[in-house]
């Protein structure tokens, strides 16, 4: 009888350990699904490459204005949309660069530009660039 009791106790403890491990793994998967790390890295690399050849013009009305060759471009978040976009100076021909935003703020301190993004899923990121 005692051997059966010990065996049952060890089996129940093993089941509890397996359940706890399963819950931890499920939580990790949920966090990974919510993470926009890869999208953020792609956005950062793309914006950095585009700004390398650009000349700083100004930050106004929530947009970053730059000049590339003879074209003037603007980067920013349009209220009511969920993406940060690149467009011409009039806002036409937009190209979304990252999705899932609830807000974005652009500011500058001289030639250092900071872009503060807030995501719908939660979380914030800040992009800095020095022209």
| Domains of the chain, residue spans | 1-34, 36-130
Helix (H) or strand (E) holding 82: none
CA distance 56 to 6: 74
What pLDDT, in 10s, does the model give residues 79-108? 888 889 999 888 888 888 998 889 999 999
**33: pLDDT strictly greater than 70:** no
Both tokens assigned to 73: 């471009």
Give the residue with greater pLDDT, 112 vs 39.
Answer: 112
Q: Is 69 left (phi over 0), alpha (psi -120 to 50) or beta?
A: left
Distances (CA, A) of 29 to 8, 33, 99, 121, 126: 32, 6, 21, 15, 25
pLDDT of residue 112: 94
What pLDDT, in 10s, does the model give residues 112-130? 999 999 988 888 999 999 9
Mean pLDDT of 32-61: 86
* In the chain, % of residues over pLDDT 90: 44
What pLDDT, in 10s, does the model give residues 54-82? 999 999 988 999 999 888 999 999 888 88
CA distance 3 to 58: 80
């Amino acid at each position: 009888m005692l051997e059966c009791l010990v065996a049952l106790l060890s089996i129940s403890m093993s089941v509890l350990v397996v359940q706890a491990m399963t819950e931890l793994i499920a939580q990790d998967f949920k966090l990974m699904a919510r993470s926009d790390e890869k999208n953020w890295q792609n956005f950062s690399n793309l914006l950095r490459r585009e700004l390398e050849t650009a000349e700083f013009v100004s930050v106004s009305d929530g947009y970053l204005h730059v000049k590339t060759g003879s074209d003037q471009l603007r980067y920013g978040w349009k209220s009511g949309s969920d993406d940060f976009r690149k467009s011409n100076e009039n806002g036409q021909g937009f190209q979304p660069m990252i999705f899932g935003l609830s807000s974005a703020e652009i500011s500058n301190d001289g030639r250092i530009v900071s872009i503060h993004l807030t995501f719908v899923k939660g979380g914030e990121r800040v992009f800095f660039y020095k022209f």
